[in-house]
Structure 1
Amino acid sequence: MKRANHILVGTDFSEQADSALLEAVRLARRHGSRITLLHIIDETPSDSRWMVFGVPPADIEDALRKRADEELAKRVEGICADVPTETDIVFGKPSVTLVREAGERGAGLIVVGRTGESMMERLLLGSTAERLLRQAPQMVLVVRPGGDPGFRRILAPVDFSDYSRDSLEVAARIARDENAELHVLHAYEYAGLAQIASATSITATQSFQEELEEQSRRQLQTLIDEVDLKDLTPQLHLRVGLAAQEIITFARDEQVDLVVMGSIGRTGLKRLFIGNTAERVIRSVPSSVLTVKPSDFRPE
């Protein structure tokens, strides 16, 4: 893990959020970091809530703050007992507020759990974790629920871009810190294979496939040599297929604890039509996921 001296943890007091906090505390102990445990109340109570509850909005806000204070205190005394931890409660939209607070507080890592938003909310808006990927310049760690803290097996998907090189370097540092296995995966597709197959012989088609595989193998080895992973003895894997699906399948089959990958933060129509591999992975992969942004990252 990059040495994040300050870790911002978002909590809604769910089991998923507590799993994220446990992992953040473990990382803070290892790296001597401090934690800000942040609870976000979704927007200031409105007149419509007043009508529902039959009490003034100010009283609703006070009640929400009181409950949140009690829940935060429980976690500081229990989970965070030996780690420097401050708590805060703010009103706002979770993803926007987490990004703003991380920037204002100088946090280098945002840690969240995988929340249980409804399918309709995910289809229309995306989960809080997915929105964080598009908006946060910091590293974002989305922690799988129910898993044991720690990373024994790490997967670094690469596509030979500068983004994936950066994420591979981060994955290597984590593997060294955790004394973990490092797996490096490149997934590629046979673009245009159908047209080639219809216009040439079976032998020519097979030759094209073999050439593409060999080219991918050479590029993967070149990347490994450039990043200098020899002390880790990484295991290299080539897969044919869509990147997101191959990452998810590999992580599930090999019981990967952490996937480390780059994310460039597409938004709007670009995300709708093109999508983002990191977002697709987070939706389905059984592992925790750490996304790494380029130094010049700007949300679109």
Structure 2
Amino acid sequence: MKQLEKILVPIDINGDYSEQLNTAIKIAHVYNSEIIIVHVLSEEAGSGSISMRKMLLDSVLESLNKINDTLKKERIITKDPIIKHGKLIENILKVATKQDVNLIVAGSGYRLKDKGHKLGNNAEKLMRYSHIPVWVATTKTESKISNIICPVDFSEPARGALNNAISLAGDFNATLRVLGVVEPVLNLSPRYQLDDLEEENTRRMQQLEKEMGDFLKDFDFAGIDYVVDIYAGNVPMTILNMIKKHNHDLLIMGTTGRSGLKRVLMGSVTNKVTRELPCSFITTKSKDILHLRFYNEVKEIETHFKKGVKLADKGEHKGAIREFTACLRINTMYIPAIYKLSEVYKLMGDEAKAIYYDNMAKELLTRLWDEKLEEKIRKHYKSSLK
């Protein structure tokens, strides 16, 4: 299954896009992704004579074709570069939507002279407005995906971010740090006495530990080299300090939600952290970078499977076969549908096909699971048809 089927890489041919491209190539190699290159000409580029505009377009296309040649040498699936004209962010997002990409890999851009942060203005805008996950590759160091950090605040965006972090850690054989931070009460007020202050901060840490434990129960860390850290402190500064202390090369964050126990937008925390550009980072909003397509497939499979079971119960065997076969077109290894096909064909008196599908299921189970789990699956999906 292709988890990241299409990656969009907006290229600034006048900037340093080497690590941006290297990052996209590494991701594409792991997920067998297609990379789509896009360049947006400025609005000013439309002025001048026809010959000057053609010369500019030819020059841009030559540069983009060289990038595509690099992708082809890396055996990356690609297509002709896309050139647009007008507003940068607007055109990138339009292309991303039209091409139905799963991820945008952007460069960090330039630091503006009148801004104190290090993240380029265009990269920041793209991160803010895109509902497609954005992976910003820093140009400070060689692109690596070996040491991931994922701050969580137990919100839904944090849940999606951690799912992504676990998947990427497994696929890239990277270590993973899950970080929880609580804002302590630092100043005395009429509400707090000195003893109350210490007690309140202790209570907040205990609450954070409990929420973290409950939160992590829903995740599968099997095969992942990971640690869980809990700290009290300023959320953005704590995240930045942890990245620097442990040399993390990839940060994954959701962009809305809560920060610790204090009701503030996670988006503001994300902005504060990513503006310092401590390492490459991924921001996610509504789309889950790795799991959305998988969840949609599961939902579709379940719909066909339930229809097939109902039809089989009614004795409508041909209809049931059609629905179970639809499951296999989505995922050829969906074993419950294979067992059901064997059972329906047996009821129809087609012993050869019944044996064929039964053997197919056994072969898959032998490859994927041990005998104990096989028995559980057989029992769970045992047909009620008699």
1:182 to 176, 184, 205: 176
Cα distance in 2, alignment partners of residues 235 and 10 from structure 1: 34
Any unmatched runs of 5+ in structure 2? 258-264, 289-386
Partner of 1:212: 204
* SS of alignment partner, residue 101 of structure 2: coil
Deviation at 1:34, TM superposition (A): 0.7
Number of the residue aligned with 1:165 = 159
C-alpha displacement of 1:126: 6.8
Shift of 1:192: 7.3
Q: After the TM superposition, which residues 187-202 of structure 1 pair with which residues of structure 2 at under 5 Å, given as runs? A: 187-191=181-185, 193-195=187-189, 199-200=192-193, 202=194
Amino acid at match of 2:76: V
For the 8 Å contact 2:7–2:35, the answer to whether it is kept is yes
Give distance in 2, aligned partners of 1:63 and 1:160.
53
By how many angstroms is 1:293 displaced?
Answer: 1.4
TM-score, normalisation: structure 1: 0.83
- Secondary structure at 1:205's aligned position in 2? helix
> How many angstroms does 1:136 deviate by?
1.1
Q: Hey, what does 1:221 align to over in structure 2?
A: 213
Alpha-carbon separation, structure 2, partners of 1:76 and 1:286: 29
Q: Distance in 2 between matches of 1:226 and 1:80?
A: 40
CA distance in 2, matches of 1:132, 1:188: 29
Q: Report how far residue 279 of structure 1 moved.
A: 2.2
Would you say how many aligned residue pairs link Structure 1 and Structure 2? 277
In structure 2, do the counterparts of structure 1 residues 122 and 212 end up closer, same or farther at CA, with 3 Å as the change threshold? closer
CA contact (8 A) 2:255 2:285 kept: yes
Give the aligned partner of residue 76 of structure 1: 68
> What residue number does 2:303 align with?
none
**Secondary structure of the structure 2 residue equivalent to 1:248:** helix
Q: Is the counterpart of residue 284 in structure 1 residue 276 in structure 2?
A: yes
* Aligned 8 A contact 1:22 1:79 in 2: no
Hey, what does 2:114 align to over in structure 1?
120
Instruction: Give the deviation of 1:38 after TM superposition.
Output: 0.8
Q: CA, structure 1 residues 45+251, in 2 after alignment: closer, same or farther (shift >3 Å)? A: same
Cα deviation for residue 122 of structure 1 reads 8.0
Work out whether residues 68 and 78 of structure 2, in 8 Å CA contact, stay in contact via their aligned partners in 1.
Answer: yes
Match of 1:237 in 2: 229
Query: Contact between 1:183 and 1:234, CA under 8 Å: does it hold in 2?
Result: yes
The CA deviation at 1:224 is: 1.4
User: Does the 8 A contact of 1:188 with 1:239 survive in 2?
Assistant: yes
Please tell me the residue identity of whatever aligns with 2:35: I
1:154 counterpart = 2:164: no
Q: How far apart, in 1, do the equivalents of 2:136 and 2:23 lie? A: 10
Identity of aligned residues (%): 24
Q: Report which structure shows greater RCO (CA 8 Å, sep ≥6).
A: 1
Secondary structure at 2:45's aligned position in 1?
A: coil
Q: Please give the alpha-carbon distance, in whole angstroms, between the structure 1 residues aligned to 2:146 and 2:209.
A: 25
State the shift of 1:117 in Å.
4.3
Asked if 2 retains the 8 angstrom alpha-carbon contact of 1:150 and 1:178, the reply is no
Instruction: Say which one has the larger Rg.
Output: 2
User: Counterparts of 2:10 and 2:144 in 1: how far apart (Å)?
Assistant: 19
2:100 to 106, 110, 123: 106
- Measured on the aligned residues, the alpha-carbon RMSD in Å equals 2.7
Q: Helix, strand or coil for the counterpart of 1:101?
A: helix
Structure 2 SS opposite 1:211? helix
Distance 1:279 1:80 in 2: 35
Report deviation, 1:121. 6.9
Alignment deviations for residues 147-199 of structure 1 (CA, whole Å, 9 cap, x no partner): 33331110001111111011111100001101111101112212475226x74
Moved more, 75-84 or 102-111: 75-84
Query: How far apart are the structure 2 equivalents of 1:274 and 1:156?
Result: 13
Aligned to 1:35: 35
Paired letter, 2:164: V
Greater share of residues in strand: 1
* Residue number in structure 1 paired with 2:377: none
The aligned counterpart of 2:4 is 4
The structural deviation recorded for 1:292 is 1.4
- 1:243 CA displacement: 2.0
* Residue 130 in structure 1 maps to residue 124 in structure 2: yes
| Aligned counterparts of 1:100 and 1:146: Cα–Cα separation in 2 | 29
Give the AA of the match of 2:274.
I
State yes or no: 1:252 paired with 2:252: no
CA gap of 1:233–1:144, structure 2 versus 1, over 3 A, is same
2:82 — aligned with what? Answer: 88
Correspondence for 1:263 among 242, 255, 261: 255
